[in-house]
């Protein structure tokens, strides 16, 4: 058995683990990185990168078939295998950034084995025992496949197997109406598949209902069938002929995609041997240190908090600050944005309207600006959507955007909330015309308009100025 002593040992080479490894190694800390699967983790290989690549191909197909702006529509000729080739090419283009070779070049000792704790200060990976001053658990998550009657006996897809398809599904059934389910539903409909989404509760139920309705209406208008309030009771069939049964109806298709959430990858780590407290995820304090063993940190999905790639990267940066520099860093979530990449997109940061009303009550002001108020949206011929901003005591506490490029527009509000900026920071910003980003400034202006234009005091002051100013 080989033994290594190091400063930091990281388990998992996804977004969070790679961020910690790169930061610590480049700052001079001896760094060991353990990964038994693919470098880059879920995001590169099965999640964000392939799904957005597929969405891009689907968007191009849809653009061809939609009439408007004086351009006649044409039905695209979709080569599904070639679309999947595009997905693989994008992954291959990005993969060198996350590769073992690159990280070894940064000074990271990469071991391609599964790591498990053997003591509070040691991890074993293959025939190597790593003793470290600090450990970081960055093992991510996997698709959740619940114990539904018959499901294990029926061929089904998850995000880990969907992108291996070479033939276009004739009728894709999707179990789950969350972001992954809706994104893949719209993409496959645009690529020529019949699609049925089966959701046990409400589709996009974690998002603002007003904004979610804009997205769901658009997806339905393209021909996706979305069935809500239909918990799945049983799955039966075989390859090419699958039936999903709910309490009220049955739905048949050729393929089934299970998009019912995520399961954290913490089994097999032998956490009890390191004294690490865990339940759904690693129990951590507000510095991401594991309860029961403060030598250990958890980042990303393993920390049991928001499950987004950019959150894992954010956690990784905080862990580097703690481990490499010895500076306390406290995690927060109020400034974390997220996006559903349907068309139109749906983006959120901070509190939703309902959450803001619960927290701020009468002190809350809600601003709504429709996309139709944007000259750029009018010129582009796509005025679907709105910008909604929740303001308390002159500061934004949340923003919801449904519409074109919502994922890009939400960044301005994420920065404002992160920095504690007041709404005046946005009204004082000069933005290029015509851009969709002007919608954000219009929202800030709409907050101040009643205070300026409907105020008797302001009118009195202006009257005095006009009367007496030389």
* DSSP assigned state of 454: S
Annotated binding residue at 381? no
Specify if 55 maps to a domain: no
Which residue in the block uniquely carries the two structure tokens 């960044």?
411
Half-sphere exposure of 108 (CA within 13 A, CB side): 30
How far CA 76 is from CA of 46, 57, 63, 88, in Å, comes to 26, 11, 9, 21
Specify if 66 maps to a domain: no
pLDDT of residue 466: 81
Residue 462 has pLDDT above 80, yes or no: no
Domain harbouring 357, CATH code: 3.30.390.30
CA atoms of 339 and 436, how far apart (whole Å): 17
pLDDT of residue 49: 98
pLDDT of residue 268: 94
Using alpha carbons only, give the angle 268, 272, 274 rounded to the nearest 5 degrees: 100
3-class secondary-structure state, position 1: coil
Annotated binding residue at 192? no
pLDDT of residue 419: 96
Q: 132 and 211, same structural domain? A: no
Backbone phi and psi for residue 71, each to the nearest 5 degrees, phi listed first: -105, 130
Domain that holds residue 385: 337-453
Maximum CA extent, the chain: 91
Q: 187 and 275, same structural domain? A: no
Residue 156 has pLDDT above 90, yes or no: yes
Q: 346 and 317, same structural domain? A: no
Beta bridge partners of 227: 198
Domain harbouring 139, CATH code: 3.50.50.60
Residue 452 has pLDDT above 80, yes or no: no
Specify if 58 maps to a domain: no
CA atoms of 88 and 110, how far apart (whole Å): 24
Annotated binding residue at 183? yes
Structure tokens at 305: 């908090």
Q: 420 and 355, same structural domain? A: yes
Residue 162 has pLDDT above 90, yes or no: yes
Q: 293 and 155, same structural domain? A: no
Annotated binding residue at 180? yes
Q: 231 and 175, same structural domain? A: yes
- Mean pLDDT, rounded, for 432-452: 91
Q: Write out the DSSP string of 356-377.
A: HHHHHGGGEEEEEEEGGG-HHH
Residue 468 pLDDT grade (very low, low, confident, very high; cuts 50, 70, 90): confident
Annotated binding residue at 104? no
Annotated binding residue at 181? yes
Annotated binding residue at 411? no
Annotated binding residue at 52? yes
Give tens-digit pLDDT for 240-252: 999 999 998 999 9
Annotated binding residue at 261? yes
Count of structural domains, the chain: 3
Backbone phi and psi for residue 276, each to the nearest 5 degrees, phi listed first: -90, 125
Element (H, E) at 460: helix 456-468
CA atoms of 63 and 281, how far apart (whole Å): 42
pLDDT of residue 453: 65
Specify if 257 maps to a domain: yes
Burial of 222 (0-12, 13-18, 19+ CB in 10 A): middle
Q: 447 and 414, same structural domain? A: yes
- Mean pLDDT, rounded, for 8-21: 98
Give the whole-number percent of the chain exceeding pLDDT 70.
Answer: 99
Q: 131 and 267, same structural domain? A: yes
Annotated binding residue at 182? yes
Annotated binding residue at 300? no
CA R_g for the chain: 25
Specify if 103 maps to a domain: yes
pLDDT of residue 409: 98
Question: At which of 296, 325, 354 does a domain end?
Answer: 325
Nearest alpha-carbon partner for 180 in 250, 258, 253: 258
Task: With both helix axes pointing from N to C terminus, report the angle between 438-453 and 456-468 in degrees, rounded to the nearest 10.
Answer: 80
Higher pLDDT, residue 460 or 294: 294
Q: 434 and 288, same structural domain? A: no
CA atoms of 404 and 140, how far apart (whole Å): 30
Q: 225 and 287, same structural domain? A: no
E strands, 36-168, in order: 109-111, 115-119, 122-125, 128-137, 141-143
Specify if 461 maps to a domain: no
Q: 371 and 273, same structural domain? A: no
Q: 174 and 129, same structural domain? A: no
Annotated binding residue at 140? yes
């Amino acid at each position: 058995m080989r033994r290594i002593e190091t400063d930091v040992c990281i388990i998992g080479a996804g977004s969070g683990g790679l961020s910690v490894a790169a930061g610590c190694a480049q700052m001079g800390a001896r760094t060991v990185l353990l990964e038994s699967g693919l470098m880059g983790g879920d995001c590169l290989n099965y999640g964000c990168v392939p799904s957005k690549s597929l969405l891009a191909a689907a968007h191009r197909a849809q653009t061809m078939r939609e009439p408007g702006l004086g351009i006649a529509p044409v039905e695209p000729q979709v080569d599904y295998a070639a679309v999947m080739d595009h997905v693989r090419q994008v992954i291959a283009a990005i993969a060198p950034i996350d590769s073992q070779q690159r990280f070894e070049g940064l000074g990271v000792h990469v071991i391609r084995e599964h790591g498990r704790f053997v003591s509070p200060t040691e991890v074993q990976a293959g025939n190597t025992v790593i003793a470290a001053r600090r450990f970081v658990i960055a093992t991510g998550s996997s698709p959740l496949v619940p114990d539904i009657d018959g499901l294990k006996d029926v061929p089904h897809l998850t995000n880990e197997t969907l992108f291996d398809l070479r033939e276009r599904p004739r009728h894709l059934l999707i179990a789950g109406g969350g972001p992954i389910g809706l994104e893949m539903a719209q993409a496959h409909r645009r690529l020529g598949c019949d699609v049925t989404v089966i959701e046990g509760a409400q589709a996009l139920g974690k998002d603002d209902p007003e904004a979610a309705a804009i997205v769901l209406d658009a997806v339905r208008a393209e021909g996706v069938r979305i069935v809500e309030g239909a918990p799945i009771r049983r799955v039966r069939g075989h390859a090419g002929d699958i039936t999903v049964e709910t309490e009220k109806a049955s739905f048949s298709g050729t393929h089934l995609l299970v998009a019912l959430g995520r399961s954290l990858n913490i089994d097999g780590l032998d956490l009890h041997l390191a004294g690490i407290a865990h339940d759904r995820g690693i129990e951590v304090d507000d510095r991401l240190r594991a309860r029961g063993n403060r030598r250990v940190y958890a980042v990303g999905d393993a920390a049991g908090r928001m499950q987004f790639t950019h959150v894992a990267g954010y956690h990784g940066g905080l862990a580097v600050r703690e481990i490499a520099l010895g500076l306390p860093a406290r995690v927060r979530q109020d400034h974390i944005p997220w996006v559903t990449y349907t068309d139109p997109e749906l983006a959120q940061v901070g509190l939703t309207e309902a959450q803001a009303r619960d927290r701020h009550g009468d002190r809350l002001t809600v601003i709504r600006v429709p996309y139709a108020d944007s000259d750029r949206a009018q010129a582009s011929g796509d005025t679907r959507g709105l910008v909604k901003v929740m303001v308390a005591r002159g500061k934004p506490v949340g923003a919801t955007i449904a519409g074109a490029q919502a994922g890009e527009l939400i960044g301005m509000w994420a920065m404002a909330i992160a920095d504690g900026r007041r709404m005046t920071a946005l009204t004082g910003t000069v933005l290029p015309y015509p851009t969709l980003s002007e919608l954000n400034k219009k929202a800030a202006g709409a907050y101040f308009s009643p205070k300026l234009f409907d105020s008797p005091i302001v009118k009195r002051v202006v009257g005095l100025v006009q009367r007496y100013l030389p």
